[in-house]
Amino acid sequence: MQIEPQAFDRVLSSMCTEPHPVAREAAERFLATNPGDPGTYPTVSALEDDAIALLGEIAGLEDPAGYIASGGTEANIQAVRIARNRAETRTPNVVMPESAHFSFQKAADVLGVELRIVPTDEQYRADLEAVRASVDSETALVIGVAGTTEYGRVDPIPELGEIARSVDAMCHVDAAWGGFVLPFTDHEWHFGHAAVDTMAIDPHKMGQAAVPAGGLLARSADLLDELAVDTPYLESTSQATLTGTRSGAGVASAVAAMEELWPDGYRRQYVRSQNNAEWLADALEKRGYEVADPTLPLVAADVPRSTFDALRAKGWRISRTATGELRVVCMPHVTREMLASFIGDLDRLEVRASVPVMSDD
């Protein structure tokens, strides 16, 4: 097999990135290990404890419980599962803003819980009044997003935590993408800021680890007990993960990336990505497009469909929000030169579009 994967030089749509060299090297070393069987693979299992300790440090949690999951989807499903299993009602509901990732739809479907989706405000953040109006005595979980997939926005997490507490529900924060940039901002998003019970925070997104390395964190170990099943023929007696055999490469690369980059490397990366996002937002605004302010390194702009299609035809990997805006995620592999070249292509397209059509007569 001689085929090479895609290059990253035109990828503006991904929430994954090129792994840091130390993460790539660690992933390769640990390819044939399975943290799902700690009795047989104790080294990678110990590394997973290190990964959770580091994630806890990033997310303001002194004595964290959790594990390295296949991604944000698994972490979100498991958080809903914990809340459902804790709930005393047989008909639990989960309340979340419409900006939440579609993995919660999967969670609701698999777990048989009612999903109550509430609107966002003009800042694309969860509308607190709508959340308050939606919770009731059967609410098992209130979800907030810290770094939304479409606009990079941060929900008012402390308020969401309070609303959850007011009805004896749990509070989950989806920081799958935002978790590795938020520590360098003023946002209140983590366990130390609010009554948060569980969190998704993915090393394989802004953490620069290899895929697959998602993170599930829980405020206390007893929350993970809600997920545990007996494992009679393994040396370990129970398993709380959703998948059985898991990627030791993901675990090792997450530890390698975090040891290398937390906190200074991630801080530098955040500053670089945020500056790039602001530069791009500015460049698009100057050209007359309507731009949603990049509160985190993600830019959404109202670019016409035809322009979007033409940019894709030029090889740019770009995506759109549900309402059709161009969406650019300033991941670590996205450089200023890439963005300048993207804007250059956009300008050439616009010039062509504005040339008047000459008639023959």
- Best CA proximity match to 37, nearest among 237, 250, 182, 322: 237
Q: What's the closest the beta carbon of residue 329 comes to ligand 0PR, in angstroms? A: 8
Q: Which residues bind ligand 0PR (CB under 6 A)?
A: 13-16, 71-73, 76, 101, 103, 145, 149, 174, 176-177, 200, 202, 214
Smallest gap from Cβ 151 to ligand 0PR, in A, equals: 11
Question: Given the complex with ligand 0PR, which of 176 and 303 has the nearer CB atom?
Answer: 176
Taking the complex as a whole, the smallest distance from the CB of residue 245 to ligand 0PR amounts, in Å, to 18
The answer, yes or no, to whether the previous bond of 263 is cis (omega within 30 of 0) is: yes
10 Å CB burial of residue 3 (0-12, 13-18, 19+) is exposed
Sign of CA dihedral 222, 227, 233, 234: negative
Closest to ligand 0PR by CB, 77 vs 284, is 77
- Return the number of the residue (103 or 134) whose C-beta is nearest ligand 0PR: 103
Closest to 319 (Cα-Cα) out of 205, 126, 151, 75:
151
User: Least Å distance between CB 46 and ligand 0PR?
Assistant: 24
**Two structure tokens written together for 245:** 């055999």
Q: How far is the CB of 347 from ligand 0PR (least distance, A)?
A: 26
* Minimum CB–partner distance for residue 118 and ligand 0PR (Å): 17
Nearest to residue 299, comparing CAs of 281, 317, 318, 276? 281
DSSP assignment string, 106-126: HHHHHHT-EEEEE-B-TTSSB
Its sign, for the CA torsion 195, 167, 172, 45, is: positive
Nearer to ligand 0PR, 73 or 139 (CB): 73
Residue with Cβ nearer ligand 0PR (117 or 234): 117
Looking at the Cβ atoms of 69 and 170, the one nearer to ligand 0PR is 69
